[in-house]
Amino acid sequence: QVVTSMAKAKKKKASKAPSSPQLTPRQLEASAKTTQLIEQLRTGSDAKQAEAAEAFDLGGGLPCFDIAVSPVPLVGAAIEPLVAMLSGRTDHQREAAAGALRSLMAKVANVFDPRDTPVADLVVKAGGILPLVALVRTGTILGKEHAASALHSLAACSMANRGAIGEAGGVDPLIALAREGTDAQKEHACFALGSLCFNHAANRAAATKAGAAEVLTHLSCEGTSMQQGIAGFALRNLAEPVEPPRDLEEPPPGKKGKGGDKKGKGKKKK
């Protein structure tokens, strides 16, 4: 009887467990492919690791780009080896890893909504900021472009990320890239600078000291049409005053009651 009762209890508990979403044959195949690629990122040769990273960059049927499948569990295991690859032995590894991280942050999560940034959070947790800043300084043409784009995605997520990138020395190499880079590099560098300076006093001060205004003004006047628009965005974020954080419990000025503080306090006693 005891055994029977235990069996019934287990059966009842199992029936209450939430059911996993049913995947289509295509999704099952893509999930298996993703698992293989993650293993390739971890244990493959330098060339095979770069090849796997490029697959994450391009999408190519991976479930992490399929809105019908929960993205974070599927791509989370790839973030750590991709961040490690930012410091890989070959240029191909480093630029492919930066491209994959940039693509995953942009496509899996809405990086402009701080409530929905799971991939960016994983990149930061894995230590991705420092190697991305280093890649902006010393990477290949494509590596610098991908790294600047990834830093833009991270900076757009949160004030904490903007501060961390600034503390890692990210402002100066982005200004240099906006000044001397290719057209595509200039675009991504301006985007990153604009995001870094958004409502962040320390980054604005660092950017101003490093000559960002001159570089951005030149691009806003003499750059391509795309560069002009992005540089204008960055200039606005560089120039606008920083808004102090508001205490939600503190009433705004002039709203403490018609009779001022005393009357407001008197009402509170009643």
Report the CATH number at residue 142: 1.25.10.10
What is the pLDDT, as a whole number, of residue 62?
A: 60
pLDDT at 248 > cutoff 90 = no
What is the pTM assigned to this prediction? 0.78
State the pLDDT confidence band at 24, using cuts at 50, 70 and 90: confident
Assess if residue 75 is contained within a domain.
Answer: yes
State the pLDDT confidence band at 34, using cuts at 50, 70 and 90: confident
State the pLDDT confidence band at 229, using cuts at 50, 70 and 90: very high
Burial track 216-229 (b if 16+ CB lie within 10 A, e otherwise) = beebbeebeeebee
Q: Report which of residues 30 and 133 the model is more confident about.
A: 133
What is the pLDDT, as a whole number, of residue 170?
A: 98
Whether 36 and 62 map to the same domain: the answer is yes
Least confident of 92-96, 165-169, 256-260: 256-260
What is the pLDDT, as a whole number, of residue 108?
A: 59
Whether 104 and 32 map to the same domain: the answer is yes
Q: Report which of residues 24 and 102 the model is more confident about.
A: 102
Q: Report which of residues 186 and 106 the model is more confident about.
A: 186
Contact status, residue 178 vs residue 216, Cβ threshold 8 Å: yes
Whether 81 and 193 map to the same domain: the answer is no
Assess if residue 19 is contained within a domain.
Answer: no
Percent of the chain whose pLDDT exceeds 90: 58
Number of domains the chain contains:
2
Read off the pLDDT of each residue in 157-166 and give the average, rounded to a whole number: 95
Whether 52 and 139 map to the same domain: the answer is yes
Whether 76 and 122 map to the same domain: the answer is yes
User: Which token pair is 119?
Assistant: 């991939």
Stretch (H or E) spanning 148: helix 141-157
Boundaries of domain holding 218:
170-242
